[in-house]
Structure 1
Amino acid sequence: MKSLLAFAACCMTVFSFGNVPGEEPHNANPIIPGYYADPSIVSYEGKHYIYATIDPWGGEQLSCWESSDFKNWTLNLLNWPTKTACTSPTSMGAMVWAPSVIEGTDGMFYMHVSVGSEIWVGVAEHPLGPWENPLGDQPMISADFEREYHMIDAQAFIDDDGSAYLYWGSGWNWVNGRCYAAKLAPDMASFDGEVKDLTPTHYFEAPVMLKKDERYYLMYSDGKTTIDTYQVHYAIGASPLGPFAEASNSPILVTDHSKNVSSPGHHTVFEEGGQHYILYHRHNVPFEPVHRQICVDELNFTGDGLIDSVSPTHEGPALVAGRLENRSPFSSTVSASSSLNNHTAPEHATDNNYATRWEAAIGDTQPTIQQSFDSVVTVTRQEILPEFGWKDQFFILEHSRDGGTWSTLVDFSSSPANGSPIVIEEAVDCRYLRIRYTLTGKENEPALLEWLVF
């Protein structure tokens, strides 16, 4: 027995935190566990739904995160759109990107989404669907609309009089693009009038329309998301179709190296409790192109009708303050078979910060991560948040009283778990818990954002 424990001790390495801004425990930004971009949000019947691109560079489908308190989110994968369902004779190779979801005046939900460098439209009675394409198997805006520019990043806006508008467009190869807009017909899937070119100064992509006090704010992103030049600009007009002039204090959200905030952009704006918020993506900590994460901060206005500069935070606004802080009633020491680098220490799996993670070293053929408690505790629930919640997770969750004899609590070695969080509600008395990964490699990277024990 002693030889087994000695072997385990030599294989389990304990790491310490660095002092990188953004890695402090209990940070609330990013608010979503994992790598996602291009967020859109709707609220319905007391719940919030965030739709987002799966990073890196999109996936076969979209992610949709659901929450009742804006602090704890559950991953849903939608029936539509998918790359397979949204491919036409004119489609290009781009994956499923940049959803925009809005509740129509008829109570239905409408999604405008980019697939294959084309704009597709879906409709559903509920934010989680099922979704269907009212145009059958055709895009709403074909890549042939204008081959010199990218037909992506559509966003719908409904004015106070019930009129709806669509804004879209991007550039190619990081050369600035065009912003197109048109009034939508009542079906939200066709146009009621001609398409206009509204392109303001410094426009690359991701248009967002915001109205306040009879002013129309056309917000958008400029720069290159794979480096640190991506940022949020805006222009002001007197009508939803412009013309628009860039504001004097634009851009309002930019990279801040002193805070370790890089390339914020492709956002949306929403209001909650009388306060406006900006929901956007920025790069993970430390910078690893292209792994973007979704954050939220306050959006305010100046007395002369401008949008105030946004101060990006890791702590997050009051809306998300205290997320997960001190939720676990147990104190534990976390160790692992290996760690990829100093930024992926095992303690990051229990620090209540989605900007950090534990990840096993490349070449670790028997990756494990373990929580050791001060004494025997009664565990009734565990929440496991993998780095990539949309991938299948192959592992065995084990428990022990003495650290030498282990028993299986749940076995996902042949039938994988998926989603985020992976919830385990099997009661057990133990002093040690261990996740032992059974299938590793590109399709099952052993890595955790959080492992919560109750």
Structure 2
Amino acid sequence: MTSCTQQSKLPTFKNTGNPLIKDKFTADPAPLVHNGTLYLYVGHDEYYEGQDSASGGKEFNITEWLCYSTQDMQTWTDHGTVLKPTDFSWGIGEAWAAQVVEKDGKFYYYVTAMANEPYNSRVVGVAVGDNPTGPFTDPIGKPLVTDDMTDNGARGWWNDIDPTALIDDNGQAWLCWGNGTCFLAKLKPNMVELDGEIQVVDIPNFVEGPWLSKRDGIYYLTYASFGEGRETISYATASSVGGPWTPHGELTGMAENSFTIHPGVIEFKDKWYLFYHNATLTLDGHKGAIGRRSVCVDELHYNPDGTMQYVEQTKQGVSASR
């Protein structure tokens, strides 16, 4: 009874089109469907004095991950903050892209954060909870992926970001991540350790933000790609997560007013959706910017051969009037 009472006190809002969330700047959407409810995990882009003159990645100020949920894509419940980088003993801030997946009644939250000594770089961490909204705790007391485990390449310490996870039809769990280089590795059955070597996935124009999904026996790797000066979203398909991956070009174009874009692909109640972000929201007099983004959602459709149809980014989104 207590949990029901607490649930009823959580704030709700109606979907009025894109951007979906209008009372906060949000980014890097990661949907999860569990027991007839869609949960949406996002990073909270937060304004600070001096943000508009910052550069070199310092435009971003994300210190927490938020969660929202819906049963119909129209009425959304705001669950507030569900995890922070500082909830990890090694975390010192910078809550970048993350994703939650479920296995055997446990919810695994794969995150990007900045790590303290001895790592001193962005890393991939994992937290686990018994419910989609937490509480989440660190089961291993250290990052899952650290800078010394991957080839730095051209992007140096930025490469271990944006984790996505998927359990394939054989029950094998996979973790994919990267900036500049797309990394892929198997996870052990415990979901908190890598199993074997880290592979590099060679897909064209890869920047960051990979997202693994599956539909009708086809696996999809959707990702932020190089466009004309800003990021777009492209995708590739494979018959197994281990590849080989066949590229299919762009799924959608550049996000309005935003250098970055980040895909989240999910099926919910017999419809498919593409979550992403742009930077069109003005909040408290602050316009959207590279570090003040806004999560959006549009329907995603597939061709008979399993390829994805190009997604036009709309202001209507998936509102009831559509």
Question: TM-score, normalised to structure 2's length?
Answer: 0.78
Distance in 1 of aligned mates of 2:93 and 2:231: 20
The one-letter code matched in structure 1 to 2:268 is E
Is structure 2 residue 182 aligned with structure 1 residue 198?
Answer: no
Alpha-carbon offset, residue 264 of structure 1: 6.7
1:155 to 143, 160, 164: 164
Residue in structure 2 matched with residue 125 of structure 1 by the alignment: 130
Shift in alpha-carbon separation, 1:290–1:69, aligned structure 2, 3 A:
same
2:149 to 127, 133, 145: 145
Cα distance in structure 1, aligned partners of 2:171 and 2:25? 35
For residues 76-97 of structure 1, give each alpha carbon's deviation from its aligned partner in whole angstroms, at most 9, with x where no partner exists: 33453x2323353xx7x76011
**Partner AA of 2:138 in structure 1:** N
Q: Percent identity?
A: 31
Equivalent residue runs for 1:407-446 within 5 Å = none
Q: Relative contact order: is structure 1 or structure 2 higher (C-alpha 8 Å, sep ≥ 6)?
A: 2
1:381 is matched with: none
Task: Show the counterpart of 1:417.
Answer: none
8 Å CA contact 2:258–2:289 kept in 1: the answer is no
Q: Separation in 2 of the partners of 1:181 and 1:302?
A: 27
- Matched residue type, 2:97: A
| Contact persistence 2:36–2:71 (CA under 8 A) | yes
- AA aligned to 1:168 is W
Distance, in Å, in 1 between the alignment partners of 2:129 and 2:221 is: 27
CA displacement, residues 373-411 of structure 1 (integer Å, 9 cap, x when unaligned): xxxxxxxxxxxxxxxxxxxxxxxxxxxxxxxxxxxxxxx
Please state how far the C-alpha of 1:72 moved relative to its aligned partner. Answer: 2.9
Q: Partner of 1:195: helix, strand, or coil? A: strand
Q: Distance in 1 between matches of 2:239 and 2:85?
A: 38
Among 208, 212, 217, the residue aligned to 1:214: 217
Cα deviation digits, residues 96-155 of structure 1 (max 9, x gap) = 111100111x1211110000110010111101111111102x111113323435211000
In structure 2, the CA distance between the partners of 1:67 and 1:303, relative to structure 1 (3 Å rule), is closer
SS at match of 2:148: helix
- State the Cα distance separating 1:288 from its structure 2 match: 3.0
CA offsets per residue over residues 26-57 of structure 1, 9 Å max, x none?
Answer: 94111112211111122334433211111142
Unaligned runs of 5+ in 1: 1-25, 171-176, 324-454
| One-letter code aligned to 2:312 | S
Partner of 1:42: 32
Rg comparison, structure with higher value = 1
1:113 alignment partner AA: V
CA distance in structure 1 between the aligned counterparts of 2:279 and 2:27, rounded to whole angstroms: 9
Tell me, yes or no, if structure 1 residue 62 matches structure 2 residue 65. yes
For residue 52 of structure 1, give the secondary structure of its aligned residue in structure 2.
Answer: strand
Provide Cα deviations, 1:415-444, integer angstroms capped at 9, x if missing partner: xxxxxxxxxxxxxxxxxxxxxxxxxxxxxx
Alignment-mate amino acid for residue 282 of structure 1: N
Query: Where do residues 306-321 of structure 1 align in structure 2 (5 Å cutoff)?
Result: 306-317=307-318, 320-321=319-320
How many angstroms apart in 2 are the aligned matches of 1:296 and 1:267? 10
The CA distance in 2 between the partners of 1:201 and 1:313, in whole Å, is: 26
Q: 1:211 to 1:127 in 2, by over 3 A?
A: same
Task: Give distance in 2, aligned partners of 1:86 and 1:306.
Answer: 39
Q: Provide the residue aligned with 1:243 in structure 2.
A: 244
Offset, 1:230: 1.4
Paired residue secondary structure (1:42): strand
Q: Is the 8 A contact 1:154 1:166 kept in 2?
A: yes
Structure 1 residue 83 and structure 2 residue 85: aligned? yes
Q: Does 1:31 align with 2:20?
A: yes
Amino acid at match of 2:19: P
Residue 297 of structure 1 corresponds to which residue in structure 2?
298
The aligned residue for residue 51 of structure 2 is none
Question: What residue in structure 2 maps to residue 112 of structure 1?
Answer: 110
| Superposed counterparts of 1:252-267, under 5 Å | 252-255=251-254, 265-267=261-263
| Residues 1:109 and 1:39: Cα distance change in structure 2 (over 3 Å) | same
Q: 2: distance between equivalents of 1:99 and 1:261?
A: 23
After superposition, the C-alpha distances for 1:268-311 in whole angstroms (9 at most, x for unaligned) are 11112222111111111565332211111111112333211101
Distance 1:316 1:126 in 2: 28
Which of 276, 283, 288 does residue 279 from structure 2 map onto? Answer: 283
For the 8 Å contact 2:277–2:293, the answer to whether it is kept is yes
* Residues 261 and 78 of structure 1: CA distance in aligned 2, closer, same or farther (over 3 Å): closer
Normalised by the length of structure 1, the TM-score is 0.57
Is the alpha carbon distance of 1:272 and 1:47 closer, same or farther for their aligned partners in structure 2, counting shifts above 3 Å? closer
CA–CA distance in 2 between the matches of 1:131 and 1:233?
Answer: 32
**SS of corresponding position for 2:62:** coil
Give me the CA root mean square deviation. Answer: 2.5
In 1, the alpha carbon distance for the partners of 2:125 and 2:192 equals 9
CA separation of 1:254/1:245 partners in 2, compared to 1, >3 Å: closer, same or farther? Answer: same
